[in-house]
Amino acid sequence: MTAPETWELRSARYLAREAQEKVIRPGDTVVDATMGNGYDTVRLAELVGSEGHVFAFDVQPLAVMHTMQRLEDAGVKERCSLLCCSHAEMARYVPGPVRCVVFNLGWLPGGDKRITTRWPSTWTAVRAALRLLQPMGVCTICAYPGHAAGDEERRSLVTVLSGLRPQDYNVLHQRFLNAGEDAPECFIIQRQNRKTDRSPGIMR
């Protein structure tokens, strides 16, 4: 008999990945709202399989180039649409419904730290994502409050997500209480299955 795996509390990104892996099925349509160097895009493309599709966004051509190369190397390029524009445009480019939308906020690792996600466009994109989700679909958001723009995103997310109607969405907020104010945090929002006579309420 093999020894049981040790269960360990892990980082915000790890929890987000776990939720994505639990919910995404072959053939799904999903969104990577912040493609960066393409690690998440490749993983999502592998999860949706050859019949699925990934829409990925980034404002930086460099990020799109890195991601394209990574997708080519992994042999999964054909199942992805890479969009070099703000995720605030998501509603225009992505036909819903989608199973999962992934945000990994902040700047391109190894890139220009001034080009970072910012709350006004992040909120436009999160709102679009919540509307695109199919019932039981999830949106994961990793936020990095260790810099001013990231701290504003984290605080604003807590405020607006707390106002979602529980009959429309369940919202989880994970935070390590003893890791300091700068530690990454994870938000997971799941659209509920209930039939409603109106579109899901974004604000209470």
Only segment of 45-53, 100-108, 168-176, 189-197 that touches ligand SAM (CB under 6 A): 100-108
Give dist(CA 140, CA 175) in Å, integer.
14
Q: Report the number of secondary-structure helices (H) and strands (E) in the chain.
A: 6, 7
Q: Which of 28, 58, 153, 185 binds ligand SAM (CB under 6 A)?
A: 58
Give dist(CA 31, CA 69) in Å, integer.
18
Q: How many CB atoms lie within 10 A of CB 167?
A: 11
SS3 20: helix
**86 touching ligand SAM, by CB under 6 A:** yes
Give the nearer residue to ligand SAM in terms of CB position, either 25 or 113.
113
**37 touching ligand SAM, by CB under 6 A:** yes
**60 touching ligand SAM, by CB under 6 A:** yes
**106 touching ligand SAM, by CB under 6 A:** yes
Eight-class DSSP state of 178: T
**34 touching ligand SAM, by CB under 6 A:** yes
Q: Which of 55, 57, 119, 187 binds ligand SAM (CB under 6 A)?
A: 57
Tell me how far, at minimum, the Cβ of 37 lies from ligand SAM, in Å: 4
Give dist(CA 119, CA 95) in Å, integer.
24
